[in-house]
Amino acid sequence: MREVDPRRRVPRTDALLADPALAAAAVTLGRDLVKAAVVRAQDRARRGELTPEQVRDAALADLPSRTPRAVLNATGVVLHTNLGRAPLAPSAVDALVAAAGNTDVELDLRTGRRARRGREALDALAAAVPDAGAVHVVNNGAAALALAATALAAGREIVVSRGELVEIGDGFRLPDLLASTGARLREVGTTNRTTRADYEAVIGEYTGFVLKVHPSNFVVTGFTSAVPVAELATLGVPVVVDIGSGLLAPDPLLPAEPDAATTLRGGAHLVTASGDKLLGGPQAGLLLGDADLVHRLRRHPLARALRVDKLTLAALAATLYAPTTPTRDALHADPVRLRARVERLRDRLGEDGCKAEVVPSAAVVGGGGAPGVELDSWALSLPERYAEPLRTGRPAILGRVLHGRLLLDLRAVPEVADDRVRAAVLSVGD
């Protein structure tokens, strides 16, 4: 009896499009896009690259993701830039959903007239940092600094220490950003030592402001010196301080990390920071400081191009009002409780025949914040072969590979997700 050509068993297009999963995808992605994925999978089967039974799954896999993949961050890096930095608090997520429709973002419902845009977020930020005479929000930290440079120093000079002309991720260099605004950089001091006299020697009629930048992703130690904000504030020109990480008030866990309140009390005229780092909110650029300066920035034409949308404003307000955030909880997690969690997970995995170990771990803040600070933590140790299937699974779980072992540090993993971690590990099998 002659064997049937397997290509004749390739599922028909109409049958595949009627499959519940592909039909659901067509509702959100459109029938034409799903049909094209089906045809590509059928062609692969006819070429012998797939079996007929694999066509449906191949078509689904070929569809574009409708949303970013959710990832459980078990790397031990609390603010992981490649994972989007700060996860939002539940109240901020709810605010995002509420803001997805029409909102009163720029309307006073009592009078029916136009109102100050994002007033809830601005009021919350002002309340969180009462030392600021006024506040403003733009779309990220770099935008905050670019707006300040453009409004205060275009065609003039920004005086900055050579040791603070930093480069951050993806080749982004602070000097390039500042130069793009039309300002001229006047570098003073050396890479390791800058004094008050260095600043005094160059300040003059062309000075727009003195810039102090927290070198948030590295530490220079040894024979070093820098001029504190309080001394810079006596030089007779505006002082702009980029604190970077978005810490609004002192945190005993991070004693060397500058915060907005202390910096303003020290004499800074303007502070810039990010919203999606230690603050634990959405991506945003925060500007806090002298009321006249902030008003000048807010009215500059560039401010319109850098303004944030209603979703960011809603999430930022909710973050500022929230009693805590996932970032704060992860940073201040009790190592004793973390160890108990990891041991409990190990024991439950052992009941199902999966051998794992509990090992100490050194977590870090990440996101360019608190370089050199290590947080005592605990991790589940598995063979390295678990790394890829966990990373590509659902849920995606990202750990770190060290000395041939996969470490799953639970510091930044919500405790409610422990059952999902267990199920994912067991799904990998022996």
Q: Which two tokens stand for residue 404?
A: 């041939």
What are the C-alpha distances in Å from 222 to residues 147, 193, 219, 227, 229?
34, 10, 10, 16, 21
CATH number, domain of 212, equals 3.40.640.10
> How many other C-beta atoms are found inside a 10 Å radius of the C-beta of residue 333?
21
Structure confidence by residue, pLDDT tens digits, 145-194: 999 999 999 999 999 999 888 877 666 788 899 999 999 999 999 888 99
Same domain (yes/no): 241, 178 = yes
Q: What is the CA radius of gyration of the chain?
A: 27
d(CA 349, CA 352): 5
Task: Tell me the pTM.
Answer: 0.87
Q: What are the Cα distances from residue 291, in Å, to 123, 147, 294?
A: 14, 15, 5
Q: Could you tell me which of 255, 281, 278, 241 has the C-alpha nearest to residue 372?
A: 255
Whether 251 is covered by a domain: the verdict is: yes
Q: What's the pLDDT score for residue 223?
A: 75
Average pLDDT taken over every residue of the chain: 92
Q: Rounded to an integer, what distance in angstroms lies between the CA atom of residue 391 and that of residue 22?
A: 24
In a domain, 66, yes or no: no
- Check whether residue 10 and residue 118 sit in a common domain: no
> What pLDDT shows up at residue 4?
54
- 109 within a domain of the structure (yes/no): yes
- Provide the total of helices (H) and of strands (E) in the chain, helices listed first: 18, 16
CA distance 340 to 267: 45
pLDDT at residue 188, rounded to an integer: 94
- Looking at 323, 344, 375, the residue that finishes a domain is 323
For 212-259, write each residue's pLDDT tens digit: 998 766 667 777 788 999 999 999 999 999 998 899 999 999 998 999
Do 77 and 111 lie in one domain? The reply is no
| 173, 255: one domain | yes
Instruction: Give the span between the Cα atoms of 395 and 194, in whole angstroms.
Output: 49
**CA-CA distance, 293 to 395, in Å (whole number)?**
46
Q: Are residues 125 and 255 in the same domain?
A: yes
Q: Is there a contact between 292 and 302 (Cβ–Cβ < 8 Å)?
A: no
Domain identity same for 110 and 257: yes
- Provide the percentage of residues in the chain whose pLDDT is more than 90: 78
In a domain, 217, yes or no: yes
- Size of the chain, expressed as the number of residues it contains: 430
**What parts of the chain have a pLDDT lower than 50?**
1
Residue at a domain's end among 270, 302, 323: 323
- Residue 1 has what pLDDT? 45
Which domain range does residue 33 map to? 6-61
DSSP 162: G
Which distant-in-sequence residues (6+ apart) come within 8 Å of 14 by Cβ? none
252 with 150, same domain: the answer is yes
Domains in the chain, number: 3
CB atoms near residue 97 (< 10 Å): 10
Report d(CA 326, CA 92) in Å as an integer: 11
